[in-house]
Amino acid sequence: MATINDVVLKIATVNGTGSASANGLLLKSIFRMGIPVVGKNFFPSNIQGLPTWYEIRVTSDGYQSRSDHVDLMVAMNAQTYARDLAEVASGGWLLYDSTWPRHRQLDRDDVTVLGVPLSKMCNESFDGARARILMKNIAYVGAVAALLDIDLDTITSLLEQTFAEKKHLVASNMQAIRLGYDYARENFVCPLPKKVATMTGTDDHIIIDGNTAAGLGCMYAGATVGAWYPITPSTSLMDAFRSFCSKYRVDPETGARTYCIIQAEDELSAIGMVLGAAWNGARSFTPTSGPGISLMSEFIGFAYYAEIPTVIFNVQRTGPSTGMPTRTQQADLMSCAYASHGDTKHVLLFPADPNECFSMAQSAFDHAERLQTPVIVMMDLDIGMNDWMVPDLEFDDSKIPDRGKVFTAEQLEEMDAFYRYLDVDGDGIPYRSLPGVHEKGSYFTRGSGHTRYGAYTEDSAAYKDVLDRLLVKWETARATLPEAEIEYSKFNKAGLLTIGSGHGACKEARDRLAEQKVNLNYCRVRAFPFGEDVREFIAQHDVVYVVEQNRDAQLRSMLMLDIDADPAKLVSLLHYDGMPLNARFVIDKVLEEVAKGCAA
């Protein structure tokens, strides 16, 4: 079927061959033609030599989730040729490097195979093994451009911008692109029936990954201390923070830095540094992933009990244990919500895309300082490392950050005595004092049992008094955290509920299901503890499909534990194979459940 601006392109390569820049070039060129597009990277936990894929979904509707099929496969990796061919949708195309022969038995009658002698052409045109390998990847960009009708001028201007400092590279890259482009034009009917055409669907939008957006958010939030231990897939968050700080946080005259990034010896140390810095009044944070959360748990409990503002970004990957470090999941919900021994529970934020990573990175510090407790921003690999098209990030210069309840030197001076854990306002949040400000503000921060006055205790009533007051604070958190995104019609008796990166697929699935007369209300939860709006949403429906990316229905359990949601109403749709969620999964599962309901 012929389409315009509705095509899925997948590129199979070997990692470490420079294909990332070629794929980025394709994605950006389509975006610059004004066409909504999304890029998903499926890469191995390896540096060089293993198969890697990049999927580009061109969608005029602007849906952000992964597609469920492939129209054009660029098969550059002989190792995965057979499975790559098998993945192409009926009626689709496969482009391969015809420099080398191909097994006849790998043919499919319903797929058109397009051979382009990429290696041969590049070997003839370029010198040196490295250049030949890199240019072979750039050459397929040219062939794809011809096949899909991507504007060559757009590609050229993008290259000129990318290589502004190294002009000679523009010429060689364009030469490689022309090799592929001209060969395709001469040998195939170009463009294919599925092609792209300039539109105006990307105004006021950018293409960015969540880790970069969160790192930028930390810089805008005024974070000064970042402590971390490298772990996939969170590493690029600190890389981004460092990169922005090196530009905007260095005094042009003295060279002095107003940021302090410490690469810790492990995650236990990273979180300890965050606590120490926050105790002293700096905005501090650590990015990590599941295994890091396990290691940080003792300190997270300490921060809960000693009431220290703490910001953690958990870019979730698959578990258990090491799991698949380069695959995505939402399987750390429970381990973060209830991290550490004893009665502890923690504030979680669930950004749905990089735009929200930017805004929630900032509000995480506000909530942490207001509530004096750990706040964990629950990202995942899909949001953190993939290229999303999102509305422009916005920053309000007039907004005053919330630094929470901190006594000044003057306030302390006027007091008879300062007691750290007194609930004077009735919201469960005491006032704190910072070291170095006033002698009267001094207190002993401890994880051992303490009274409302901050003194050590083994007295049951005094201990319980503080523990119960923390529950008052929990309710304050519930009332002040971001509300859920809800779409409600009183005519619908069933609802769809999800978090984080499930949003894109659920949104698309709802539209498709509506076309089939299955109408669902929608609730996209943005924070834990869950607000009154979430409780109400569940109460309003006969059935709520809970879509989450883990095996054990952790979100469903949390709804039961935190707001006493009726388990009979909550039907789990669980996706946990490590790939980003797509709409097809949600549609099929909902239809299955609907059919069951009809049969009953």
Partner 1 sequence: MSYIAKPKVAHPNMPKNKLGLTARDYEGTVSTLCAGCGHDSVTAAIIQAVFELNIEPQMLAKMSGIGCSSKTPAYFVSGSHGFNSVHGRMPSVTTGANAANRSLTYIGVSGDGDSLSIGAGQFVHAIRRNLNMCYIIENNGVYGLTKGQFSASADIGTRPKKGEPNRQEPIDPVSTAISLGATYIARSFSGDKEQLVPLIQGALMHEGFALVDVISPCVTFNDHEGSTKSYAHTRQHYHHVVDADYIPPAEEIKAAYKEGSAMAVELHDGSKIVLRKVDDEYDPTSRAASFKYLRERFNVGEITTGLLYIDESRKEMHDLMGNVQTPMCQLPLDALHPGSDELKKILNRYR
CA dihedral 318, 322, 325, 328 (to 10 degrees): 0
C-beta closer to partner 1: residue 309 or 578: 309
C-beta closer to partner 1: residue 431 or 545: 431
Nearest to 33 by CA among 173, 207, 163: 207
C-beta closer to partner 1: residue 299 or 528: 299
Rounded least distance, CB 267 to partner 1, Å: 10
Task: Describe the crossing of helices 354-371 and 210-221 by its angle, rounded to 10 degrees.
Answer: 40
Rounded least distance, CB 410 to partner 1, Å: 14
Rounded least distance, CB 183 to partner 1, Å: 30
Rounded least distance, CB 28 to partner 1, Å: 8
Rounded least distance, CB 231 to partner 1, Å: 17
The tokens for 52 are 């890697």
C-beta closer to partner 1: residue 262 or 560: 262
C-beta closer to partner 1: residue 366 or 508: 366
C-beta closer to partner 1: residue 215 or 504: 215
Rounded least distance, CB 164 to partner 1, Å: 12
Helix H segments across 307-353? 333-337
C-beta closer to partner 1: residue 167 or 399: 399
| Cis amide prior to 529 (ω within 30 degrees) | yes
The tokens for 487 are 């779409």
Side chain identity at residue 537, one-letter code? F
Question: Is the Cα dihedral 539, 543, 548, 550 positive or negative?
Answer: positive
Strand ranges (E), 519-577: 521-525, 527-528, 543-548, 570-574
Helical (H) or strand (E) element with 295: helix 290-306
- What span, in angstroms and rounded, lies between the C-alpha atoms of 96 and 113? 8
Q: Collect all residues with Cβ–Cβ distance below 8 Å to 321 and sequence separation of at least 6.
A: 291
C-beta closer to partner 1: residue 325 or 447: 447
If 0-12 CB within 10 Å is exposed, 13-18 middle and 19+ buried, where does residue 391 land? exposed
Nearest to 297 by CA among 267, 333, 261, 266: 267
> What one-character DSSP code corresponds to residue 483?
P
Q: Collect all residues with Cβ–Cβ distance below 8 Å to 570 and sequence separation of at least 6.
A: 538, 544, 546, 556, 559, 560
Question: Is the Cα dihedral 74, 79, 83, 86 positive or negative?
Answer: positive
If 0-12 CB within 10 Å is exposed, 13-18 middle and 19+ buried, where does residue 399 land? exposed
Task: Describe the crossing of helices 152-162 and 19-32 by its angle, rounded to 10 degrees.
Answer: 120
Rounded least distance, CB 505 to partner 1, Å: 23
- What span, in angstroms and rounded, lies between the C-alpha atoms of 17 and 387? 20
Rounded least distance, CB 175 to partner 1, Å: 26
C-beta closer to partner 1: residue 109 or 439: 439
Rounded least distance, CB 171 to partner 1, Å: 23
C-beta closer to partner 1: residue 225 or 573: 225
Q: What is the DSSP string of 493-526?
A: -EEEEEETTHHHHHHHHHHHHHHTT---EEEEE-
| Cis amide prior to 320 (ω within 30 degrees) | yes
C-beta closer to partner 1: residue 83 or 464: 464
Half-sphere exposure of 247 (CA within 13 A, CB side): 8
Half-sphere exposure of 383 (CA within 13 A, CB side): 31
CB atoms within 10 A of CB 541: 20
Rounded least distance, CB 261 to partner 1, Å: 8
C-beta closer to partner 1: residue 127 or 439: 439
Rounded least distance, CB 406 to partner 1, Å: 11
First to last CA, the chain: 39
C-beta closer to partner 1: residue 106 or 268: 268
The answer to whether 135 and 125 are in contact (CB under 8 A) is: yes
C-beta closer to partner 1: residue 223 or 571: 223
Rounded least distance, CB 47 to partner 1, Å: 26
